[in-house]
Chain A
Amino acid sequence: MKRKKKLSDNSSLALRFHLPTFITLTFVALIPLIYTLRLSFYDFKLSEAGSANRFVGLANYIRLFRDPDFYNSVSKTFIFMFFAVLFEVIIGILLALALNAIPKVKKLFTSLTLIPMMVAPLVIGLMYSFYINPQFGLYTWLVDTLRLPLPTNLTGDSFHSMIIVVIMDIWEWAPYMGLVFLAGLQSIDAQCYEAAKVDGASNTQIFWSVTLPLMRPVITVAVLLRAMETFKEFDKPYILTGGGPGNATEVIDLYTYRQAFVQFKFSYAAAICIILFIVLFLCGMVYQRVAMQGDD
């Protein structure tokens, strides 16, 4: 009896400690979300006076699912996500192994690899736009001088502009993945390696059968986190390609931005955000499940 009382005391104390967070979240996340949801059932166009109260029900969603440009942006987002995350994982693992192999200067190199991550995405976009400029860019100069069989007009066609948008993201985030994997690598018990060596396993075998399986939870978490973040990709393609040529690199956030702040179709943009929210919410649930599993 006494014990039960003590427990409930604690839980009310816990609630009090959490209250500020709940209040803050209500204001910065929940209320805007509910407002967005409400907005998505109206036909509010910022450029039309009096359109704020035009209720249209599900019309925005119906239009959305018939909108080829929306599907285009979804597919571009997934293409971007797949290739960016894939190469970030591969390069990240290689980087982690390399850093782990050089214990003496590890600290210095670890700090150095952090640099791309600390550069603002907008600046990365600007940097690359100078780098690949078809008239005076460093890349163009290299290709010309070394007579490399590479195209110089990267933003001119859809295939190459997607590649360059993916490369920018890899440049920014592969080092971060490297660090996460390095932490994972260091948490593997040395005994596992010793046991494998005693059994006569080669380095390749150790990598595939010991290192990788033991790092799986870290990799899964990192992949999920990055995949969710790629949905938010905006600054880099906005600066470098503006979604172009045409709409070849128009990822979902760029498309939403154009709908909301260029065409001023706020309700339509709200509907896209709600769909995006549902997708990310599901991803979040998967992530949570996977992350919890890792803890067990």
Chain B
Amino acid sequence: MRKQIRRITALTLTSVMAAGLAGSSITAADDGAKKFAGTTLYMIAEQQTPTESLKKQLENFETMTGIKVELEMAPLDDVIQKETLAFQSKSGAYDIVAAPYQFLGNMVENQYIQPLEPFMNDESLAVIDGYDSSDIIEGMWKASGEWDGQLYGVPANSCIMFMTYRKDLFENAEEQAAFKEKYGYDLEVPKDWKTYRDIAEFFTRSKGSTLAGETLSRDFYGVSMMGKRHDAVTCEWLNYAWSFGGGVFDEDGNIAINSDASVEALEYFVDLSQFAPPGVTSKTWDEQTTEIQQSIAAMAIMFNDCAPACEDPDSSLVAGKLGYSTIPVGVTPADHYGAWGYYIPSDSPNPEAAYVFLEWFNTPDVQKQIALDGGFPNLTSIYNDPDLEALPYWEASMEAYEISTTRPRIPQWNQMNEALMLQLSNCLAGQETPKDALDNAAKEFETILEGKLPVTYQ
């Protein structure tokens, strides 16, 4: 029923939007929204919910401007491979490319993408009604688009890591009493890492024992973690590292990956994994989402764009039973920000039309639809939209965005990440101690960054 209502709302909104767009296209036609009519833009982006939502709306863009957008969707690795090949061969294959923000430094320094300023200053390109650049959230725009004071792209598919927990279990009186008896304090949403571990331990139960009054037909775990040699393990662990006061670089830009705080964070991370379902080293966000959906684990540090799937009653056993909060805090509050950006390649045959597309992409109608479909918008005005504030994960997402922390965006990061994820995964598999693993990573970082240290801009 709830889903149906949501669907009806979405339908109404789409029709309202379509009407609005039809109106604007008539007025815009005179001052040139159609000036690039007949152009075809080629775009590549990762196959994700927000991208699919965008794809649905491309028709509206074509009606409005006469520009056709051919959007190719692929998994992350494929997108990066295809783009890199296109950049290197200067084929001009794409007019708009999507890339995770940590690739920005690489793309700018190699001059693969072009600055947006010339287009932004060109009055003749301001043809999209409803576009207001000051509405774009500044922090997001800087993370995804700004390099050395120049703007190169707009944010897209933004997401942030936060904590999800089983609200129904946390609110269960029996569990609360049992927790208080065992640990001597109340069972509440964890604000620090010690509590997080205690709760993880508390909820880890074997088959046959009771959980919230029901006998378990299979093992239940305290946390769900991502430990595969994959971007996912870096993403999750960096939250712990930053929160413990460590990280990739220290304040002066020197390597801090093997600092005491970072090592402590990894020790905690490895210790915590005993309360996670077996096979941590083969898991990414996909498996983590399943573990929450199937009621296998009680808590997780996850990307907020996985939350819509956990709240979908068709695929989730725990829809409506989840609570969301910011990540526990050690020394510094930090929630890992992940996002993509849309950029215009230097060899794009139609950069101006591509810029018009980016303007349209950041209009409230488009952004709101993306949010309703399960994504997160770029615009301040949309975040306070009452339709969206009703979503269970919305408020916690807002709080998390306020304390967001970003990965380094330097050209070498991809290579450093490869080295780091191997060490983290090795450590979780018990092949290295946390100290050795991070010392190895530090050594590799030094080789990769030879002559580039200290890293003052990231």
Interface residues of A (CB under 8 A from B): 46-49, 52, 133-135, 152-153, 155-158, 241-248, 258, 261-264
Give CA–CA (A157, B425) in the complex, Å. Answer: 10
CB <8 Å contact, B280 and A244: no
Interface residue total, chain B, C-beta cutoff 8 A? 36
Q: Quick check: A155 and B81 within 8 Å, CB to CB?
A: no
Contact B282 A246, beta carbon cutoff 8 Å: no
Q: Which of B106, B277, B411, B431 contacts A248 (CB 8 A)?
A: B431
A-B CB proximity, top 10 nearest: A246-B426, A245-B429, A153-B278, A245-B281, A49-B110, A155-B282, A134-B279, A134-B278, A244-B229, A246-B425
Q: Which residues of A contact B411 (CB under 8 A)?
A: 47-48
Interface string of B159-195 (1 = CB under 8 A from A): 0000000000000000000000000000000000000
The answer to whether B277 touches A245, judged by C-beta atoms less than 8 angstroms apart, is: no
| Interface: B296 (CB within 8 A) | yes
What is the chain B residue whose CB lies nearest that of A243? B229
Q: Does the CB pair B228–A244 fall under 8 Å?
A: yes
Interface residues of B (CB under 8 A from A): 77, 81, 84-85, 87-88, 106, 110-112, 218, 227-230, 277-282, 291, 294, 296, 411, 414-415, 418, 422, 425-426, 428-432
B278 near A156: Cβ-Cβ < 8 Å: yes
Does A47 contact B414, Cβ atoms closer than 8 Å?
yes
A47 to B415, CA, bound (A): 10
Smallest CB gap from A129: residue in B: B282
Q: Contact: B279 with A153, CB < 8 Å?
A: yes
Report the minimum CB–CB distance from B442 to chain A (whole Å).
16
Determine which of B84, B291, B422 lies in contact with A47 in the assembled complex, contact meaning CB atoms within 8 Å. Answer: B84
* Bound CA–CA A262/B231 (angstroms): 12
In angstroms, Cα B291 to Cα A135, docked, is: 9
CA distance A133 to B411 in the complex (A): 37
In the assembled complex, the Cα of A47 lies from the Cα of B112 at a distance in Å of: 10
The answer to whether B281 and A263 touch across the interface, beta carbons within 8 angstroms, is: no
> In the bound complex, how far is the Cα of B88 from the Cα of A258, in angstroms?
18
Q: CB < 8 Å: which of A49, A157, A261, A262 contacts B111? A: A49
13 A-B Cβ contacts within 8 A?
Answer: A48-B110, A133-B279, A135-B296, A156-B280, A156-B429, A158-B429, A158-B431, A244-B228, A245-B428, A247-B422, A258-B418, A262-B418, A264-B84
Q: Please state if A156 and B84 are interface contacts (CB–CB under 8 Å).
A: no
Given the known A-B contacts A46-B85, A49-B110, are A156 and B426 also in contact in the complex, defined by CB atoms under 8 Å? no
Tell me the nearest residue of chain A to B415, going by C-beta: A263
Residues of chain A within 8 A of B429, CB atoms compared = 156-158, 244-246, 248
Query: Closest residue to B280 on the A side, CB-wise?
Result: A156
Q: How far is the CB of A203 from chain B (nearest CB, A)?
A: 46
Q: Report the separation of the CA atoms of residues A246 and B430 in the bound assembly, to the nearest whole angstrom.
A: 10
A46-B431 contact given A135-B296, A153-B278, A246-B426, CB 8 Å threshold? no
Check B282–A49 contact: CB distance below 8 A.
no
Instruction: Give the residues in chain A near B277, CB-CB below 8 Å.
Output: 134-135
Task: Find B81's partner among A133, A153, A158, A261 (CB 8 Å cutoff).
Answer: A261
A46 touches B229 (CB 8 A): no
**Is A246 a contact partner of B431 (Cβ separation < 8 A)?**
yes
Q: Which residues from chain A contact B280 at a C-beta distance below 8 Å?
A: 156
A48-B110, A135-B218, A262-B418 given; 4 more Cβ-contact pairs under 8 Å? A47-B414, A242-B230, A245-B426, A246-B429
Give A152 to B81 CA distance when docked, in angstroms: 35
Q: Could you say which of A48, A153, A245, A262 has the most chain B C-beta atoms within 10 Å of its C-beta? A: A245
Question: Which residue of chain B lies nearest to A261 when distances are taken between CB atoms in the complex?
Answer: B81
Chain A residue with minimal CB distance to B273?
Answer: A156
CB distance from B46 to the nearest CB of A (A): 16
Bound Cα distance A99, B25 (Å): 75
> A188 CB to closest chain B CB, in angstroms?
46
